[in-house]
Amino acid sequence: MTGAQLAVRDVDGASVGDLDAFVRDVARPGMPVVLRGLCRDWPATQASGQSRAALVAYLARLDAGRTAEAFVGDPTIAGRYTYGKDLAGFNFTRESLRFGDALGRIVAAADAPETESVYLGSLPTDAYLPGFAADNAVPIVPPTARPRIWLGTASSVACHYDTFDNLACVVAGTRRFTLYPPDAIGNLYVGPIDHTMAGQPISLAAGADTDDPRYPDFPAARGRAMVVDLAPGDALYMPKLWWHSVEATAPFNMLVNYWWDGFAAGPDAPYTAMLLSMIAIAERPPAERAAWRAFFDHYVFRPNGHPLAHLPDAQHGILGALGGGNYGRIRAWVMKTLRGG
């Protein structure tokens, strides 16, 4: 994909069908897809279409009364939540509020943007809004993928990636996503991975002023950016590791998303494997790193197919299909090695 001009496929959400069709036609190709109207018939979206008050009343009926962490920004940041000067701290405060109180605060700030911006992010609806998932079902994600709510005033979430597949559904307001492919990472000037706003590292360049001299290679990424605008009822599928910044452009906005790993063979995550590889390989001499890259390509990324394709399947040993018990065999071998056995 390097250097290629990409575009986001735009389809009628009703045409996708069930989970199997979604995996085959949308998820497996590994590209973002807009699903227009996917959640337009949700009760929450229907309430939003009536009025903001109707949506607030709907959420209030489901409110379990739990406390959540809200991002609160001074009006000078215009809803753009990011680091403080020189990456020291952040430009917003965090406040613990009951969900209903936070919702009221968001409504008040939406009507008076000169006062503050308020944002609730990634709240699991099973805990905060019991019954929401049953009321507002989406048939194209697995049952284990549970909905999370994102609610707030006009805001801008810094460019980041997720380590899970992501389906984002707009219920109220409007959302603009700016997407970059995973291989743009080298031009995005990524910040620390262990000092973040909400768990994931962000692109420092994507949120900076145009032609910032600190990020001379960013124009190469900017030229590959894809912009998607979503209205209430629309959804966007983003495969894992696709970079995205998110602007909520209306005074009052609500999004629901689902995270899951659509192609996991077991509980172990690729990101964990990458972190382990960092401590095992990253600071070895260049020649040795190049040698390990060749082995990773051969055994893991497999650009030329299965590494033992020249042998009958019965002779593949633990390199046979993971579903045939080899997942557990390899995992046990790795755990024994990590323990020094």
How confident is the prediction along the chain (341 residues), in pLDDT tens digits per residue?
Answer: 444 446 789 999 999 989 999 999 999 999 999 999 999 999 999 999 999 999 999 999 999 999 999 999 999 988 888 888 888 888 899 999 999 999 999 999 999 989 999 999 999 999 999 999 999 999 999 999 999 999 999 999 899 999 999 999 999 999 999 999 999 999 999 998 888 877 889 999 998 877 889 999 999 999 999 999 999 999 999 999 999 999 999 999 999 999 999 999 888 899 999 999 999 999 999 999 999 999 999 999 999 999 999 989 999 999 999 988 999 999 999 899 888 86
**CA-to-CA separations, 126 to 65, 82, 139, 155, in angstroms, rounded:** 12, 28, 17, 25
Distance between CA atoms of residues 88 and 300, nearest Å: 38
Question: pLDDT at position 6, please?
Answer: 60
The whole-number pLDDT of residue 2 equals 42
Residues 6+ apart with CB under 8 A from 272: none
Q: Which residue has the tokens 């699991």?
A: 124
Q: Which amino acid is at 81?
A: Y
Q: Which two tokens stand for residue 323?
A: 């579903």
Determine the residue type at 336. Answer: K
298 three-class SS: helix
Q: Which two tokens stand for residue 122?
A: 């990634």
Per-residue confidence (pLDDT) for residue 140, from 0 to 100: 95
Output DSSP code: residue 195: S
**Which token pair is 41?**
């018939």
Task: Tell me if 81 sits within 8 A of 72, measured CB to CB.
Answer: no
How far, in Å, CA of 7 to CA of 182, rounded? 14
Under 8 Å between Cβ of 215 and 186: no
pLDDT value, residue 309: 93
Contacting residues for 86 by C-beta, under 8 A, at least 6 apart: none
- pLDDT at position 341, please? 62
pTM of the model: 0.91
Residues 6+ apart with CB under 8 A from 261: 164, 165, 240, 269
Give CA–CA dist 251/154, Å, rounded.
5
Q: What is the pLDDT of residue 4?
A: 43
Structure confidence at residue 81 (pLDDT) = 87
Distance of alpha carbon 218 from alpha carbon 256, whole angstroms? 30
**CB-based contact 167:180 (threshold 8 Å):** no
Residue 195: both structure tokens together: 């000092």
Residue 265 carries which DSSP code? S
Q: Is 155 left (phi over 0), alpha (psi -120 to 50) or beta?
A: beta
CA end-to-end span of the chain, whole Å?
41
Please report which residue ranges of the chain form alpha helices under DSSP H: 19-22, 43-50, 52-62, 99-111, 125-128, 132-135, 218-222, 270-281, 286-296, 326-338
Number of Cβ within a 10 Å radius of residue 317: 10
